Structure 1
Amino acid sequence: MTHQHSAQPQAGSHDHMFLGQNHARNERRTWMVIALTTVMMIAEIAAGTVYGSMALVADGWHMSTHAAAMLIVALAYLYARKHARNPRFTFGTGKFGDLAAFASAVVLALIALLIAWESFVRLANPVPINFPQAISIAAVGLAVNLLSAWLLRDDHAHHGDHHHDHAHAHAHDNNLQAAYIHVLADALTSVLAIGALVTASLYGWVWLDPAIGIVGALVIANWSFALIRRAGGVLLDYVPSSEDLPEEIRSVIEREGDLITDLHVWQLGPGHHGAIVSLVSDHPKAPSSYRAKLSHIHDLSHVTVEVEHKAA
């Protein structure tokens, strides 16, 4: 159960628990996908060793890299939940997911490089392919990845009774997105492999399989860099151009002649933002009055207000 911190906290009830709305559900599903991937990985490596299939063994070890990356995701969920009320984390543990997403995206970029390298090696030194076996492996891998992707889908659920509801990407869970992109990348490589293998078996184009591998690596690299930018932006308190919270805070506070002189807005966790507002006023009110004005903004979970009398 996620605790939503009020923009106008009551005395004595102030805490910094800024976990995402579906934190527990996402953590549970990530562990399920890790279990599914691990079982498939062990089965492929064991079968490949017993039947002497390098394709099976290679695919099994490939799946192990994604399982390791998803372990980063799951452990981040676990750690963030265990330490959610630890006062040493000044603004809570909501950003652990973004830290894990950044690390997972780097792993994904390395996987893309490995796929590209292996594809170039295969282009230079073609190896005979057992087409029926390779196609069946790719098909089973695709089925596992599609099931995993379904488990890791982001419902983008929002409560319907809020006066204001941001539906921007910043409310998404980057940690869940990292796990989702890993299984999607695996699914993409399976789809491309099936297409390339079927075509190569029909026309004898052995070069097509590694060539398509390079295309897949480029797509995966593009996904990983997008995730690195998004998660890195959160870690560095970058406010994207799509984020309208600063403008909204200004429009609420400056309606009655009060003037904001300094404003800082940053993400505390999925769907949670903090703000420090410094303002001057001819008729200054208590900080709680300004927090009350901002309390209808759902994404704004922690507000600090500083008020000074405007100089004559």
Structure 2
Amino acid sequence: MTADNQRSVLLAMLLTASFMVVEVIGGWLSGSLALIADAGHMLTDVAALALAWAGFHFGRRASNPRKTFGYMRLEVLAGFVNAMTLFLLVAWVLWEAIGRLRAPSPVLAGPMLAVAVGGLLVNLVVFAILRRADTSHVNIRGALLHVLGDMLGSVAAILAAIAIHFTGWTPIDPILSVLILLLILRSAWHLLGQSLHILLEGTPPDIDIGALQAHLVEQVDGLEKVEHVHVWSITSGLPAATLEAHIRSGADPRQLTRAIKQELASAFGIGHSTVEIVWDDGTGCALDPAGQGGA
């Protein structure tokens, strides 16, 4: 699916970059802050999509002794950068909007409306492309949030152009730009939280540690209790886990290790796990499914 994600992101980036140039020219000629803000958002979209593409491209590189998980975390780092660029966009547009409200400037409603409608159509196409990709990835979600912000920005520009055409009231342009900032800010905060949670190796939101421990003890014969459970995400959609398994007297540690790993994979989607077997005397040994152990 990563190759499909990479192609989708590349196509979306090229479409966004192409129309960004059109929107910059249209915003400058019409004098519309809403269009200029949307063009600025498109610029961050291009950067975000480029980072996402780089994340997928380098994330497919094989692991090595110095980077045992390869470059998969680049995808999450790109999502974090996406969120930060959204915060920068909010600050810039807010500053421009305040200036426009203090000193309103003329806006050409006709060109503004034409460019805004074109921007909305391009954003709809880009959104459809990204929706066909794997939306469980934080990078794809980040790109979708950027595109959603652009779509809302285009709608705001269309409404502002219509209002200016019929009323001549140009402050509607910066006012709608500020309103759209609130939606962008909410999306940026959510994306930032998701990215930081993965980078700080937090437990995936769909996994409850207590429920995981209880499930393993109930389902795996010979397992006394489970302690020191750590579950985190290597990258979006790829959880990993380590745990200590206290076994009952007479239990086969090799068979028990295989059973734990199978339950983690089937019940919780954790395909990468390390299990340390602990005996009654407190000593432990980490075993792989084939039974090769290491103290």
Q: TM bucket by the smaller chain?
A: 0.7 to 0.9
Aligned-partner Cα distance in 2 for 1:66–1:140? 17
Query: What's the TM-score once normalised by structure 1's chain length?
Result: 0.79
- Counting aligned pairs with the same residue, the percent is 28
The alpha carbon displacement at 1:287 in A equals 4.7
The alpha carbon displacement at 1:221 in A equals 1.0
Aligned-partner Cα distance in 2 for 1:194–1:47? 13
Report matched runs for 1:49-60 at 5 Å: 52=29, 55=32, 58=36, 60=39
**1:63-122 Cα distance to aligned partner (Å, 9 max, x none):** 3332122111111111111x2333432234332211110011101111122122211111
Say which structure, 1 or 2, has more relative contact order (CA 8 Å, 6+ apart): 1
* Contact map agreement 2:30 2:108 (CA 8 A) in 1: no
Aligned-partner Cα distance in 2 for 1:23–1:108? 25
Aligned-partner Cα distance in 1 for 2:93–2:228? 48
Residue of structure 1 aligned with 2:8, choices 18, 25, 29: 29
For the pair 1:308 / 2:278, whether they are aligned, the reply is yes
Aligned to 1:266: 232
Q: Which has the higher helix share?
A: 2
* Contact map agreement 1:102 1:227 (CA 8 A) in 2: yes
Which deviates more, 108-117 or 90-99? 90-99
Aligned-partner Cα distance in 2 for 1:229–1:197? 35
Residue of structure 2 aligned with 1:196, choices 128, 150, 160: 160
The alpha carbon displacement at 1:249 in A equals 3.1
For the pair 1:292 / 2:259, whether they are aligned, the reply is yes
SS in 2 for 1:297: helix
Aligned-partner Cα distance in 2 for 1:264–1:42? 48
The alpha carbon displacement at 1:253 in A equals 2.5
Q: How many residues align?
A: 273
The alpha carbon displacement at 1:42 in A equals 3.4
Q: What amino acid maps onto 2:233 in structure 1?
A: Q
**1:245-301 Cα distance to aligned partner (Å, 9 max, x none):** 534431333125511121111112332211111122232432553333442236211
For structure 1, the residue ranges without an aligned partner over 5 or more in a row are 1-21, 158-171
With over 3 angstroms needed to count, the CA separation of the structure-2 counterparts of 1:294 and 1:55, relative to structure 1, is same
With over 3 angstroms needed to count, the CA separation of the structure-2 counterparts of 1:288 and 1:274, relative to structure 1, is farther
Aligned to 1:65: 44
Aligned-partner Cα distance in 1 for 2:67–2:207? 27
* Contact map agreement 1:119 1:210 (CA 8 A) in 2: yes
Aligned-partner Cα distance in 1 for 2:133–2:46? 23
The alpha carbon displacement at 1:311 in A equals 4.2
Report matched runs for 1:97-176 at 5 Å: 97-153=75-131, 172-176=136-140
* Contact map agreement 2:233 2:240 (CA 8 A) in 1: yes
Q: What amino acid maps onto 1:289 in structure 2?
A: L
SS in 1 for 2:131: coil
For the pair 1:227 / 2:191, whether they are aligned, the reply is yes
Aligned to 2:214: 251
Which deviates more, 100-109 or 57-66? 57-66
Which deviates more, 282-291 or 178-187? 282-291
Aligned-partner Cα distance in 2 for 1:302–1:233? 19
Aligned-partner Cα distance in 2 for 1:48–1:111? 16
Aligned to 2:146: 182
**1:159-182 Cα distance to aligned partner (Å, 9 max, x none):** xxxxxxxxxxxxx20011111111
